[in-house]
Homo-oligomer: A and B are copies of this chain.
Amino acid sequence: MKKLKAGILGATGVVGQQFVRILSNHPYFEVTAVTGSTKSSGKTYNDASDWSFTNFLPEEVNNLIVLDTDAKALLRNDIDLVFSALPASVAYDLENQLASAGVPVFSNASAHRMKESVPILIPEINPSHLNLVSSQLYDGGFIVTNSNCSTSGLVFGLKPLMDFGIEDVVVTTYQAVSGAGRNGVGSMDILGNVIPYITNEETKIVQETKRILGKNENGKIVPASFDVNASCARVPVLNGHLESVVVQLESEFSVDQIIETYNSFRGEPQTLGLPTAPTKPIIVKQEPDRPQPTRDLSLHVGDLGMAVKIGRVRKHKNRLNFFLLVHNAIRGAAGASVLNAEFARAKGMLE
């Protein structure tokens, strides 16, 4: 089978480099074009991307010349789809242009997420949202987004609970600095500190969670009706967002029931055996003090970090409490986009 040619928008940053890493030796896709800022364009990818993962790069990407982040530059190349790791401000127009030029866009940017016809897709959670794209008016192309990094963890903690009737959610986050991008958090601000604010993050969690867990009623998403209350903070951790979650459920429940529900949760990516799908989307840690960012992002050699880890599942009065850990740059960003592309391909949307 011939691999599809993939471009990566914003390929030199934290998420861009994760795209390159995940797509290295990917069975469906090969990276044939990378774009960067004006500072990077014209250099080889190896020179432009000063980061640890460059050590893992396949030769062919190492030597790609970084293109301007610009539709024309990219369309001069023969590409079958693009992955976007762009900041929202740049993403809006460029992703529109590419979709209009017939290119399927799998975007980690927030720019188009809340548009009615754009799915925030997490194929284990809301596979039916993919067909929203049929109402997009682009000429041949389309845009599929994945969620904000914190949201991507939260919805795995919530989806399996929906049979119990979710009434109310309070989430409080401990977010890694890599979530802000390469130069997002200065060291003087975060060394030995916690910053109880992340621009727009709380709003994104509230809106995206309710949309992702909403119903697709004839091509229109009806958001979930429960309230989500979010408080976000940055902590001096490199990778991995930890979240404390408190959920009010309608039905009676026991802790064992919940753990069993999490452990047995599977979605379409698992059924389809998609390459980037984890065997189990949720892994319950039973130790008293887990999950932890430095220990649990990757649980064995070759564990990419696509599974969400949940621990400290407990019942307080009639509420469920737990902590979850999500790899913000993988399940919360690059890995999410790649899985979406794999899922779209399985659904016949990429030829």
The chain A residues found within 8 Å of chain B, CB to CB, are: 14, 50, 52, 55-56, 170, 172, 174, 177-178, 182-197, 227, 229, 231, 233, 235-238, 242, 244, 246, 287-295, 299-302, 311-312, 316-317, 319, 321, 323
Top 7 A-B pairs ranked by shortest CB distance? A197-B289, A172-B172, A231-B244, A193-B294, A196-B323, A52-B295, A177-B187
Q: Are the CB atoms of B194 and A192 closer together than 8 Å?
A: no
Closest beta carbon of chain B to A348's beta carbon, Å: 33
Q: Are the CB atoms of B237 and A192 closer together than 8 Å?
A: yes
Instruction: Tell me whether A188 and B244 are in contact in the complex, defined as CB-CB below 8 angstroms, given that A52-B295, A196-B311 are known contacts.
Output: no
9 A-B residue pairings within 8 Å (CB atoms): A14-B188, A174-B174, A177-B187, A178-B188, A187-B236, A191-B191, A191-B294, A193-B294, A233-B244
Q: Are the CB atoms of A246 and B229 closer together than 8 Å?
A: yes
Which residues of B are found within 8 Å of A287, using beta-carbon distances?
A: 50
Q: Are the CB atoms of B196 and A242 closer together than 8 Å?
A: yes
- Of A178, A236, A293, A302, most buried by chain B (CB within 10 Å of CB) is A236
Q: Are the CB atoms of B233 and A236 closer together than 8 Å?
A: no
Can you add 18 more A-B contacts, CB < 8 Å, to A172-B231, A193-B292? A52-B295, A170-B246, A174-B233, A177-B188, A187-B187, A187-B191, A191-B294, A192-B238, A192-B294, A193-B295, A195-B292, A197-B289, A229-B316, A229-B319, A231-B321, A233-B242, A233-B244, A233-B323
Q: Are the CB atoms of A236 and B236 closer together than 8 Å?
A: yes
Q: Are the CB atoms of B194 and A237 closer together than 8 Å?
A: yes
Q: Are the CB atoms of A194 and B292 closer together than 8 Å?
A: yes
Closest beta carbon of chain B to A87's beta carbon, Å: 16
Q: Are the CB atoms of B300 and A196 closer together than 8 Å?
A: no
Which residues of B are found within 8 Å of A290, using beta-carbon distances?
A: 196
Which residues of B are found within 8 Å of A316, using beta-carbon distances?
A: 227, 229
Complex-state Cα separation, A235 to B176, whole angstroms: 12
Closest beta carbon of chain B to A195's beta carbon, Å: 6
Closest beta carbon of chain B to A226's beta carbon, Å: 11
Which residues of B are found within 8 Å of A55, using beta-carbon distances?
A: 299-300
Complex-state Cα separation, A323 to B178, whole angstroms: 23
